[in-house]
Amino acid sequence: MPRAALFTITGVAIGVAAGALALATIVNLDVNGAPVSTTTATVIPAPVSQTAGEGAFDLGPASAIVAPSDARSVGEYLASVLRAATGLPLPIEDEGELILAIEPGHPEGGYDLEVTSESVRLAANDAAGLFAGVQTLRQLVPVSASGRSAWAIPATTISDHPRFAYRGAMLDVARHFFGVDDVKRYLDDIALLKLNVLHLHLTDDQGWRLEIDGWPRLTEHGGSTQVGGGGGGFYTQDDYRNIVAYAASRFITIVPEIDLPGHTNAALASYPELTCDGEAPALYEGIEVGFSSLCIDNERTYEFVADVLGQVAALTPGPWIHIGGDEAHSTPEADYLRFIERASGIAAATGKTVIGWHEMGRSDALPAGSVGEYWSFTTPEGDAAELARTFVDGGGRLVLAPADVAYLDMKYDESSPLGLLWAKGPTSVEEAFEWDPAEVVPGVGDARLLGIEAPLWTETIVTMADLESMAFPRIAAIAEIAWSPQPEQGRRDFSEFAPRLAAFGAHLDALGINYFRASGVAWR
């Protein structure tokens, strides 16, 4: 990781009302203009448009879900999450008041939701849009209180669609290993925020986490360690298929990353033939970066790369394969360029679109359309912006993961027990919220941005509770940036977001998701 830069950016809150984003409280008025009910009905990420109606739909013991065959699986998912939240039976029947429909005419990637006192109707062009709408609906249902028998969903009309197609989280399962059940839980966690990509950082110096046929020592030996000791772990190919399938059931695409040519100590320790001197290094459980490299002039290296990327691509239904390329500090520049040209060509030959960290933009020989993942700062340092632009010039797009706002492994504040500090010091929830992707890489606006990603590196993260407390609530801020439109005038305003975050916290409590109670939010 880069040297520590110990200063913080201060979010400048310009008091601009966030227009369509100001949804915090819906007050229903009677015919005389007197308030009849005050309900908090807030959604993260904020919908593109939401208007309040009159009254509320009472979800209760007689409520049933209608889901035609093309929407059946989303209907079952909706039933399962609402049953868990309310304890209501919520059967799926031919007639009922909670109606799901797949039909043309709705926003691309999004949905339309109409809640009246009579019914709830959610409609989208496809199942993915419907699933996004279900996440909105979940947040409109008040959090259960003991003894409650009806749940009043405030009447509202919502029309909604995403700003970016790629709305990602990244989980580093190499520094500390997280098993299949943990990954599934994280998939459920991020689905709530309409994120639709989980990038799995599967290999690093400290561990190789995916079984590769013909290379058993990668996982047997290379998978046996993690940061700080305590053993590692790995996914069999069936485990990985299981994760991919579970992700698909949440409309989430898995992006597998095999980090090359640096960050490869676990592979080198497993197969000395991949080193230049033929000697296997020891396994590594520290947190330094940049010391390992595949041997660039060794043909065996390319057999290895072809075998690994071929198998990873075959196991992965999504369109992308990530080959890392970051922090290869011990690979000489000419070697790096030769390696990236060959490895990215091998990756592209699998039929997938290649993704690489922005350092890969040093190469002028990337496959056309390769995607760059930018991890410098919102005010780029060094030549990071220029490297990112290489991908755009090559017909590709960028995924933005600026370390000073989107890195979930940064401490919240100096006193955070977990996390790192190298990215301009700690990152508050406010800082994670108040940035505009279109301003990060000069000259690269929305049209050339594929999306946004929030990485969670796990050098200091050991348990699922740790993981959730670093992700939540900052990941809610990142999800809003990825989904919701930028306010028409001015910047996002944390004071508008904070009340919605407080309401969202009540849902997190109900779901048992561990989150950091950041200051500046009136948590319930």
Catalytic residue numbers, as ranges: 327
State which of positions 340-359 bind ligand TNX (CB under 6 A): 357
- Closest separation between CB of residue 3 and ligand TNX, Å? 12
Report if residue 1 touches ligand TNX, rule: CB under 6 A. yes
Whether the Cβ atoms of residue 514 and residue 468 lie closer than 8 Å to each other = yes
**What's the min distance (Å) between Cβ of 284 and ligand TNX?**
13
Residue 333 token pair = 């520049």
* Axis crossing angle, helix 494-511 with helix 127-140, rounded to the nearest 10: 90
Span 168-197, contacts to ligand TNX by CB under 6 A? none
Q: List the 120-124 sheet strands across, edge first.
A: 49-59, 151-160, 111-115, 120-124, 98-102, 65-66
- Tokens for 8, please give them: 């913080």
Residues near ligand TNX (CB under 6 A), total: 11
Q: Least distance (Å) from ligand TNX to the CB of residue 2?
A: 7
Q: Which amino acid is at 206?
A: Q
In the three-class reduction of DSSP (H, G, I as helix; E, B as strand; rest coil), residue 154 is classed as strand
Q: Are 196 and 166 in contact (CB under 8 A)?
A: yes
The reply on whether position 327 binds ligand TNX by CB under 6 A is yes
289 binds ligand TNX (CB under 6 A): yes
**In the bound complex, what is the minimum distance in angstroms from residue 88's beta carbon to ligand TNX?**
43
What part of residues 5-44 is at the interface with ligand TNX (CB under 6 A)? none
Nearer to ligand TNX, 42 or 203 (CB): 203
**Can residue 371 be called a binding residue for ligand TNX (CB under 6 A)?**
no
Of 122 and 461, which has the nearer Cβ to ligand TNX?
A: 461
Q: Closer to ligand TNX at the Cβ: 167 or 411?
A: 411
DSSP state of 142: P
496 with 484: CB under 8 angstroms?
A: no
How many Å is the maximal CA-CA distance in the chain?
A: 85
Should residue 326 be labelled a site residue for ligand TNX when binding is judged by CB under 6 A? yes
Instruction: Tell me the closest approach of the beta carbon of residue 135 to ligand TNX, in angstroms.
Output: 28
Element spanning 503, H or E: helix 494-511
6: burial class by Cβ within 10 Å (0-12, 13-18, 19+)?
exposed
State which residue, 326 or 493, has the beta carbon closest to ligand TNX: 326
- Pattern 414-453, ligand TNX, x by CB under 6 A: ------x---------------------------------
- What minimum distance in Å lies between the beta carbon of 94 and ligand TNX? 52
Q: Give CA–CA dist 312/297, Å, rounded.
A: 23
Task: Give the separation between CA 71 and CA 109, rounded to whole angstroms.
Answer: 15
d(CA 500, CA 46): 9
Q: Which residues pair with 160 in a beta bridge?
A: 111
> At closest approach, how far in Å is the CB of 276 from ligand TNX?
22
Q: Return the residues of window 372-391 that contact ligand TNX according to CB under 6 A.
A: 375
Nearer to ligand TNX, 131 or 357 (CB): 357
Closer to ligand TNX by CB, 227 or 464: give it. 227
Residue 460, SS3? coil
- Select 149 or 330, whichever has its Cβ closest to ligand TNX: 330
Pick the binder of ligand TNX from 377, 457, 504, 515 (CB under 6 A).
457
- Residue 304 binding ligand TNX, by CB under 6 A: no
- Using rule CB under 6 A, residue 97 touches ligand TNX: no
Residue 412 sits in the site that holds ligand TNX (CB under 6 A): no
CB of 130 to ligand TNX, least distance (A): 35
Q: How many other C-beta atoms lie within 10 A of the C-beta of residue 11?
A: 18
3-state SS string for 262-327: CCCHHHHHHCHHHCCCCCCCCCCCCCCCCCCCCCCCCHHHHHHHHHHHHHHHHHCCCCEEEEECCC
Choosing from 112, 189, 404, 409, the residue that interacts with ligand TNX (CB under 6 A) is: 409
Nearer to ligand TNX, 160 or 326 (CB): 326
Query: SS3 helix, strand, coil % of the chain, rounded to 5?
Result: 35, 20, 50
Binding region for ligand TNX (CB under 6 A): 1, 289, 326-327, 357, 375, 407, 409, 420, 457, 459
